[in-house]
Amino acid sequence: MLNDTKPTAAVLERGRHVTDAELARKADWIRLKTIELVAQAGLGHYSSTFSCAEIVATLYYHVLRLDPGAPAWADRDRFLLGKGHVATGLWPVLADLGYYPQDWLGQFGQVGSPLNDHPNMKLAPGVDFSSGSLGHNLSVGAGMAMAGRIARRDYRAFVLTGDGELQEGQVWEAAMAASHYKLGNLVAIIDANGFSGSGPTSEAMNIEPLGARFAAFGWLVKEINGHDIPTLRATFASLPDPVTGKQPVAIIARTHKGHGLEMFEKQPQAWHLGLLTDEQRTDAVAEITARMELAE
């Protein structure tokens, strides 16, 4: 029988209880762990991981229906990291939820490690699809959403994309197919931090107006502040029913590249890919830790 993997008794249900403050702390914890893992590997994507920390925290600790004990459970919600270069921020979350032992993080970036700069579904439990080549995962997510419709399952497929990624033509092929097939169980979250690898996104190639573009492709568009946790929660809570919904949803999350660390916010481009010095790292950890303590 197709997809008969059973869940364990420890399913994490959708909308599980967590406070806004706890989610904010999780987002900062993702930032701290990112700094730690990048130091270990010697190079990494800081500022684009920081821009989506609230989104990832809200999804994994509140929104997604998951079963870390049965990563292949057929009815789980899917999460695809279209912007695969921010996997560094995902690894501590998946370990925290119990997909794999914490000590896997200690091998991050080493030869033979299941955890690398980009996620590999064949190596890391909890990764629903591999990514790295920008522009693919909205198509993959649409395929997964379609599979859910054919199999009459009620899961959702979430795809987190960058805004620069939307310059890839394949994204719009997928956008067309998703609305054509009325995939109301597909949710694209655009981490619209305004930058791609070499500069401001729309200086390289204009992608705005994003909301109007997705709307023109037949999507239900929600344009929000991607760092505001109550707004993120409310947006996810208002998604169409995954079984009866007829429109895919584009959440245009306006974010700041490097959000959560002053140095990155001032120079988001410089910290797209890099390595903090020991002194910078100490200061960065102190800044984020102080905020987390203040919020307690």
Partner 1 sequence: MTETHVPTPTPKMVDVFSDIERETAFKVNPAGFAVTELAAADDRILTLTADLSNTLAEFREKFPERYIELGIAETNSVSFAAGLAACGYVPYIYSMAPFGVLKTAEQLRTDVDYNHLPVRLVGRLSGLAMGYFGTSHYAVEDIAIARTLNNTLVIAPADAASTVALMKLVATTDAPAYIRIAEAPEQVYGAPPSDMEPRYEIGKWPRLATGGHLTIAAHGMGVGLAVQAARLLAQRDGIEADVFDAAFLRPFDEAALAESAAKTGKVLTVEDHSVVGGLGSIVAETVARHRLRADLDQVALPAVDLEVGVPAELYEHYGLTVAGVAAKARDLVRGGSTS
Nearer to partner 1, 17 or 122 (CB): 122
**Is 141 or 268 the residue whose CB approaches partner 1 more closely?**
141
Rounded to a whole number of angstroms, the minimum distance from the CB of residue 151 to partner 1 is: 7
Helix axes 20-41, 87-97, angle to 10 degrees: 120
Residue 177 or 251: the one with the smaller Cβ distance to partner 1 is 177
Smallest gap, in angstroms, from Cβ of residue 228 to partner 1?
30
Query: φ, ψ for residue 231 (rounded to 5)?
Result: -65, -45
Give whichever of 30 and 189 is closer to partner 1, judged by the CB atom: 189
Beta-bridged to residue 137, according to DSSP, are none
Please check whether residue 86 is in contact with residue 135, taking contact to mean a CB–CB distance below 8 angstroms: no
CB of 142 to partner 1, least distance (A): 6
* Cα–Cα distance for residue pair 5/9, rounded to 1 Å: 13
Amino acid identity of residue 43, one-letter, is L
**Which residues are within 8 A (CB) of 270 and not within 5 positions of it... i.e. 6 or more apart?**
none
Q: How far is the CB of 226 from partner 1 (least distance, A)?
A: 25
Contact between 177 and 142 under an 8 Å Cβ cutoff? The reply is yes
Reading phi first (left if > 0) and then psi (alpha if -120 to 50, else beta), residue 258 is in left
Minimum CB distance to partner 1, residue 140 (Å): 4
Residue with tokens 């403050």: 21
Element (H, E) at 222: strand 220-225
Give the nearer residue to partner 1 in terms of CB position, either 216 or 234: 216
H helix runs in 191-257, sequence order: 201-204, 210-216, 229-237
Could you give the strand order of the β-sheet that contains 78-81, starting from the edge strand earlier in sequence?
78-81, 157-162, 186-192, 249-254, 220-225
C-beta closer to partner 1: residue 38 or 178: 178
DSSP state of 225: E
Residue ranges that bind partner 1, judged by CB under 8 A:
2-3, 74, 120-122, 128-130, 132-133, 136-137, 139-148, 150-151, 157, 169-170, 173-174, 176-177, 180-181
Rounded least distance, CB 132 to partner 1, Å: 7
* Min separation Cβ 130 and partner 1, Å: 6
Beta carbon nearer to partner 1, 28 or 128? 128
**Identity of the amino acid at 155:** Y
